[in-house]
Amino acid sequence: MIIAAALRYHPQDFGSFFVQLQSESNPALNTVTAYGDDYIEINEVSYGHAVYFGPEGEIHNWPVLSINDITPAILRSVAGLGEAKVDPMAFLDGNSTEQKPIDAPEVLLIGTGLKQHMLPAHVTRPLLQIGIGIEVMSTQAAARTYNILMAEGRRVIVALLPLQENP
């Protein structure tokens, strides 16, 4: 990733400087471009509700109003996984757990609003057991982390609640 820095100097401002760092990113990839109290902006389009998305593809409405609405089934859906399919004969190989699909994300980032709120272990355990990492943080931190991981070419999905106080 290339970082371009622009240094702007205005003599009328009595020597004040403005430094703007901008990432030269691929415009074909979904990028968080801004966020505010009542919106999340992806590719310069504002969303006033919770969303989830990966580097490519659609921006999805996330049917979650608070962290209390997040369930294992909702996280599976966000990660692009269908119903858990366990091979009934897998016990013969000593492995009775679900396997991570090849196209599954490496990590799922959860933005919980203004502050970080941890999810209960029973909610995150099913994805962690198949090898999908889950990181829970404030929405601002999740948006920044997503942009970095996406720019590195990582298989990442982010789910963001608006910037509000969550119970």
Please write the tens of the pLDDT for every residue from 70-126. Answer: 999 999 999 998 766 666 666 666 665 677 788 899 999 999 999 999 999 999 999
Query: Do the Cβ atoms of 107 and 133 come closer than 8 Å?
Result: yes
The stretch 4-28 carries a mean pLDDT of 48
pLDDT of residue 90: 65
Cα–Cα distance measured from residue 164 to residue 167, given in angstroms and rounded to the nearest whole number? 10
pTM: 0.77
Q: Which fold has domain 29-160?
A: Hypothetical Protein Mth938; Chain: A, (3.40.1230)
Query: Do the Cβ atoms of 32 and 138 come closer than 8 Å?
Result: no
Q: Enumerate the domain spans of the chain.
A: 29-160
C-alpha closest to that of 143 among 165, 166, 112, 105: 112
Cα–Cα distance measured from residue 2 to residue 20, given in angstroms and rounded to the nearest whole number? 14
